Amino acid sequence: MARARLLVAYDGSAFHGFAPNEGVETVAGTLVAVIGRVVRRPVELTGAGRTDAGVHGWGQVVSLDLPEGTDLDDLARRVNKMAGPRVVIRRAEWTDEEFDARFSARWRHYRYHVLLTPQPDPFRAATTWHVGRPLDVSNMQLACDPLIGEHDFSSFCRRPKPGPGVTPPSMMRRVILARWSEPEPDLLRFEIRANAFCHQMVRSIVGLLVDVGLGRRRAGEVNGVLHAHDRQAAGQVAPPHGLVLWEVGYGDT
């Protein structure tokens, strides 16, 4: 067996999230089933990011062990024929056995798209949050400043259910960049890169920043929200379908 690395894209609206989940269709569940059929043996895989139901993937990275000598181009073609276009292997290559899609990752980069047109758009409905009103982008950009650097992001993260034997996980994360741009008229793009993200962190940040853009909250409040370490402080969580796992960095890209 040898370690392979896959670059995977998927339409999140077609799946109940990335991670395997008994009884529902997930991205990893689908890949495991289809790849297993191609290589004629059970496979296990690791993803760089466990995206939630409805969240899209463009640059999701997956590592898994495959029989040596497997023709990876042929594998990708066959998987894409069986599982595509909802989920697609964009690239497949051999890598060293130390490589782990999750633990080798140095950063994850997400994008979130917000649509400002007064009327909804049938062609962007599945990949944007239709806010439908003008937003104050310079205030939203200003509000990003306090997020940069290493912080406890408890205010923006959904905690796992507490229970006996469950150690509350650390919410310390290092945000490397957070910026807004307008790649097309009336379409805003938020980009955020961090060493890692905790659960619902991007969507909670976007929810707060859009509230700032709407004038419901002030840019100056973000620092206080961050240091409250209280999930109630952040406010609304942006819907999942505007979010896409865009790229994962391993130091080699």
Tell me which residues are annotated as active site.
52
* Residue 26 found at the interface with its own copies (CB under 8 A): no
User: Is-contact 227 208, C-beta < 8 A?
Assistant: no
CB of 4 to its own copies, least distance (A): 16
CB-wise, 107 or 246, nearer to its own copies?
Answer: 246
Among 21, 46, 80, 195, binds its own copies (CB under 8 A): 80
* Residue 58 found at the interface with its own copies (CB under 8 A): yes
CB-wise, 87 or 212, nearer to its own copies?
Answer: 87
Can you tell me the distance from the alpha carbon of 236 to that of 221, in angstroms, rounded to the nearest whole number? 14
Can you tell me the distance from the alpha carbon of 161 to that of 165, in angstroms, rounded to the nearest whole number? 11
CB of 87 to its own copies, least distance (A): 7
* Residue 185 found at the interface with its own copies (CB under 8 A): no
CB-wise, 33 or 228, nearer to its own copies?
Answer: 33
Tokens of 132: 């439908």
User: Is-contact 60 111, C-beta < 8 A?
Assistant: no
Cα-based distances in Å from 40 to 35, 36, 66, 88, 252: 8, 5, 10, 19, 31
* Residue 35 found at the interface with its own copies (CB under 8 A): no
| Bond into 118 cis (ω within 30) | no
Q: By rule CB under 8 A, what count of residues binds its own copies?
A: 23
Can you tell me the distance from the alpha carbon of 118 to that of 133, in angstroms, rounded to the nearest whole number? 6
Give the end-to-end CA distance of the chain in Å, rounded to a whole number: 25
Among 9, 43, 55, 101, binds its own copies (CB under 8 A): 9
- Binding-residue pattern over the window 127 to 166 for its own copies, x denoting contact by CB under 8 A: x--x------------------------------------
The DSSP secondary-structure symbol of 214 reads: T
Residues that bind its own copies (CB under 8 A): 9-11, 14, 56, 58, 76, 80, 84-90, 119-123, 125, 127, 130
